[in-house]
Amino acid sequence: MLDIPPLVRVDVDPLTAAQIALGVCDALRRITPGGEADAMSAPHLPKVAGIDSAVSAPPHTAGPTATRVPRGAAAPPPPPAPGTLIQDRLAGWVSDLTTLHELTERLARATGLDESLQELLRAGAALVGARRGLAVLEPSDGHGPTLTTGLGLGAADLGHIETVPRSATPYGRILDGLPGAGGGSEQLPQPGGGTGYAAVADPRHREVAARLGYAASYALPLAAETTGRLGAAVWLYDEQAEPTERQRHLAGLYCRYAGEHLARVIDADRSRTRFATLAEELLPSRLPRVSGVRLAARHRTGPLGGGDWFDALALPEGALGLAVGSVTGSGPSAVAAMGRLRASLRAYAVMEGEDPVAVLSDLELLLRLTEPARSATALFAYCEPARRKILLAGAGHTPPLLIGDRRTEFVETSLSAPLGMLSCWEAPSVEVEPTSGETVLLYTDGLLQRTGDPMDRAFARLHAAAASVPKATREDPAALCDHVLRTVLPDGRDAVESDEDIVLLAARFD
């Protein structure tokens, strides 16, 4: 990585050449913190990379000549030893490698795309001596994600920068492959005179730079060997400045590694997005409208794509079928199993929905035949809004919650094992009669598990959240679901990446 020019001519015999494999350890052991040779090495100079510096000079090399010092004049400093400059260069090399190792380790520990970009900007700013910067992601394959994030720049600052013509910005030239797209420095013209290196000529760019208070920038492309161009990173200087050759070299090496890391993160992010999209497509895109009841649902998918689902379908004679369930596992196989289970339940509900026990019995038989290594929980409710009557059965699922002005309580369901756990499943159904204005809330256990509390405390938290719903909010099932999510999962925990899905299905009876 560092090209060290030879300082002395050295004749290496076969025995010395065999010592080259010793590396730089001998040289590092003899270097004191001040960078001078250890006293124990005198009178011989230390070995560097297996080369004995004490080898005599070739015959044509002139020896040192004595210099007469005039009377009263200070003696000149002694000339540096032949190996000192090499040791300094090696010490600087080791320091650079250590710095890069620490920065790349920190980047490797970053989780998620946003955190990786912030770590990239912080490390790059430290390497090139800048204070602020921005990273623009725009993969060349056109599949996204496309985003801009800043270091020391707010949303308004990034908005101002985006008003600059794309061809006048360093990241725009990199992304569009314009001349000068290989990255480099540019400086704003100063009132006093010089323009510096690659001076900015666009008036809008100068105006934005003056508003944000930066006088120079340094840009580097972000790319990976397998995916090609990913984006660009730009660091901003408050004064006219330019990174040194050593800083540019280190920043280039770091961005080369960062590009490969970002490629892996982007690929994982795309996979999570595909799983989430697939799961959403397998769930109802809209809820049916049935006289006498209003419906609302909320769904949060984990990063790996889980198997939680819900369904609501209109049945003959003004009836309504409500279902929630969860399939064990995560990833594409769990999402596929969830889709098959939900589609089968819809068919059974149309044929024999008035008997929830029969619906779940058929579903259990199907699961054992098609997914013998998988289990699932499910709850199906047959609702008659005109009579305000609900007949439901559950298989290892969490009990529904009845929310109203006069009561907030869990519905007592029969204890039953999940589907696929027993050779033959059957459990009695339960009848519920909600009054006018009450809401029945169905949910999956992911809502409880994301709290991080034991199940008894999680149930208590859910009950308290439902009981604290304001009266005006109870009239809107969608607002009720949002209130429960905010209260049960405070501090934005519902947005934290988790392996657990969340499903809420609320039915308010008029």
Cβ atoms within 10 Å of 186's Cβ, excluding its own: 24
What is the value of pTM for the model shown? 0.62
Distance CA 137, CA 231 (A): 4
- What's residue 28's pLDDT? 29
Token pair belonging to 477: 């099932």
- Output 353-358 pairs: Cβ under 8 A, ≥24 positions apart: 353/315, 353/319, 353/321, 353/380, 353/382, 354/319, 354/382, 354/391, 355/382, 355/429, 356/380, 356/381, 356/382, 356/391, 356/392, 356/393, 356/429, 357/393, 357/426, 357/427, 357/428, 357/429
C-alpha closest to that of 231 among 291, 175, 289 = 175
Distance CA 38, CA 47 (A): 12
Question: What pairing do the DSSP bridges indicate for beta strands 439-443 and 401-403?
Answer: antiparallel
Question: Virtual CA dihedral for 196, 202, 205, 206, nearest 10 degrees?
Answer: 60
Q: Which residues contact 233 (CB under 8 A, 6 or more apart)?
A: 120, 121, 124, 133, 134, 135, 136, 171, 219, 220, 222, 255
- What's residue 409's pLDDT? 94
Distance CA 51, CA 10 (A): 8
Q: Is the peptide bond before 43 cis (omega within 30 degrees of 0)?
A: yes
What is the torsional sign of CA 159, 145, 114, 501?
positive
How does DSSP assign 300-343, residue by residue?
E--TT-EEEEEEEEEEGGGEEEEEEEEEEEESHHHHHHHHHHHH
Give the rounded distance of the alpha carbon of 220 from its chain centre.
22
CA distances (Å), origin 428, targets 210, 319, 425 = 74, 21, 10
**Strands, sheet with 439-443, edge to edge from the N-terminal-most edge strand:** 293-300, 502-509, 439-443, 401-403, 408-410
- What's residue 163's pLDDT? 92
Cβ atoms within 10 Å of 169's Cβ, excluding its own: 26
Write down the residue that tokens 């250890």 correspond to. 38
What is the torsional sign of CA 476, 482, 483, 484?
positive
- What's residue 76's pLDDT? 66
- What's residue 61's pLDDT? 38
Tell the burial category of 487 from Cβ atoms under 10 Å away from its Cβ (0-12, 13-18, 19+): middle
CA distances (Å), origin 67, targets 59, 70, 74, 76, 82 = 22, 10, 12, 9, 19
Q: With contact defined as beta carbons under 8 Å apart, do 64 and 82 qualify?
A: no
Specify the length of the chain in residues: 510
Question: What pairing do the DSSP bridges indicate for beta strands 147-151 and 293-300?
Answer: unpaired
The residue type at 117: L
C-alpha closest to that of 401 among 391, 393, 412, 390 = 412
Residues of the chain with pLDDT under 70: 1-82, 179-183, 188-201, 302-305, 422-426, 490-499
**Strands, sheet with 184-187, edge to edge from the N-terminal-most edge strand:** 147-151, 132-137, 228-237, 216-224, 184-187
Domains of the chain with CATH codes: 1-55 (no CATH), 92-268 (3.30.450.40), 282-509 (3.60.40.10)
The residue type at 447: L
Q: Which residues contact 417 (CB under 8 A, 6 or more apart)?
A: 395, 396, 425
- What's residue 151's pLDDT? 95
Cβ atoms within 10 Å of 77's Cβ, excluding its own: 6
* Whole-number CA gyration radius for the chain: 35
- What's residue 328's pLDDT? 86
Distance CA 97, CA 2 (A): 11
- What's residue 119's pLDDT? 95
